[in-house]
Amino acid sequence: MIAAIFDLDGTLLDGSILQGLIQHHRVHRTKRIPLYFYVASHMLIWPGLKLGLISEAWARARWTENMGWSMRGWTPAAAAQAFHWISEQYVQPRVDDDILARLRRHQQAGHRVILVSGTPSPLLDVIGQRFGIPETVGTPLTLRRGRYSGASESPACQGADKVTRLKMHLGDSSDINWRESYAYADSHTDIPLLACFGHAVAVNPDHKLLQHATQHEWEVLRPERNEP
């Protein structure tokens, strides 16, 4: 079986899921205090990143694993309403048509298409349903007494742990031919995921990923978007 793995933010989506959450919460005037606290507290990470005290992979993992703070207290049904709004109003207008066309070609070829992203799993499921992608691998949110607790299950689906989460999803009996399969992503933190597949594709790559892709002769799509 040949697989085709697609990242979401910056790859299939010309934007970020966090911006979709922010837009939803502002429009609907809901959970703005926990959302702003989440954003403000995590902005404090970036000075350490700029000074080289922490890695970008660590910083991205913290943003990812704590995104559920802005959904704390929602029942799955209430959250689903928000997720459908984000999928329709934010994601759909920003999907990269060229990358979506690639995804459709993989589907037409009978490849196993999987959306892999740090996005909270229930939101990623809704996005997958909207675009006809039945398999998604995201960051699971935890429930307490039927409501989202604000926490996520470890590990967050970010960086090298995207590989961990994908392998957990596939299970030990997977018949994926990794050498013949494809992966699409935009960030150098996705190099561990891309490197697992015989056909790695850097989409709108950041500078570090572009360098790595060039050195390893990976396919590169639209490198001019993120030139320094």
- Across residues 107-131, what is the average pLDDT? 97
Q: Which tokens hold the place of 179?
A: 């050498």
Of 192, 163, 191, 190, the closest CA to residue 176 belongs to 163
- Across residues 94-116, what is the average pLDDT? 97
Please tell me the predicted confidence (pLDDT) of residue 191: 97
Task: Provide the number of structural domains found in the chain.
Answer: 1
Name the percent of the chain lying above pLDDT 90: 82
For residue 219, name the pLDDT band (cuts at 50, 70, 90).
very high
Please tell me the predicted confidence (pLDDT) of residue 226: 47
Q: Which domain holds residue 209?
A: 3-226
| Beta strands 182-185 and 3-6, pairing class | parallel
Give pLDDT tens digits for 65-98. 999 999 999 999 999 999 999 999 999 999 999 9
Q: Are 135 and 115 in contact (CB under 8 A)?
A: yes
156-171 burial, b at 16+ Cβ within 10 Å, e below that, comes to: bbbbebbbbbbeeebe
226 vs 1, which has greater pLDDT? Answer: 1
- Across residues 25-33, what is the average pLDDT? 94
Distance between CA atoms of residues 84 and 134, nearest Å: 16
- Is residue 214 over pLDDT 60? yes
What region, left, alpha or beta, does residue 5 occupy, with left being phi > 0 and alpha being psi -120 to 50 degrees?
beta
- Is residue 223 over pLDDT 80? no
CATH code of 28's domain: 3.40.50.1000
Please tell me the predicted confidence (pLDDT) of residue 7: 98
| Beta strands 199-203 and 182-185, pairing class | parallel
Predicted TM-score of the model (pTM): 0.92
- Across residues 127-144, what is the average pLDDT? 97
Please tell me the predicted confidence (pLDDT) of residue 68: 93
Please tell me the predicted confidence (pLDDT) of residue 227: 45
- Across residues 109-134, what is the average pLDDT? 97
For residue 46, name the pLDDT band (cuts at 50, 70, 90).
confident
Taking each helix axis as running N to C, give the angle between helix 17-28 and helix 32-43, from 0 to 180 degrees, rounded to the nearest 10: 140
3-state DSSP of the chain: CCEEEECCECCCECCCHHHHHHHHHHHHCCCHHHHHHHHHHHHCHHHHHHCCCCCHHHHHHHHHHCHHHHHCCCCHHHHHHHHHHHHHHHHHHHECHHHHHHHHHHHHCCCEEEEEEEEEHHHHHHHHHHCCCCEEEEECEEEECCEEEEEECCCCCCCCHHHHHHHHHHCCCCCCCHHHCEEEECCHHHHHHHCCCCEEEEECCCHHHHHHHHHCCCEEECHHHHCC
- Rounded to 5°, angle at Cα 104 from 99 and 213: 40
Please tell me the predicted confidence (pLDDT) of residue 43: 86
Please tell me the predicted confidence (pLDDT) of residue 173: 61
Give pLDDT tens digits for 162-180. 999 999 999 876 789 999 9
Q: What is the mean pLDDT of the chain?
A: 93
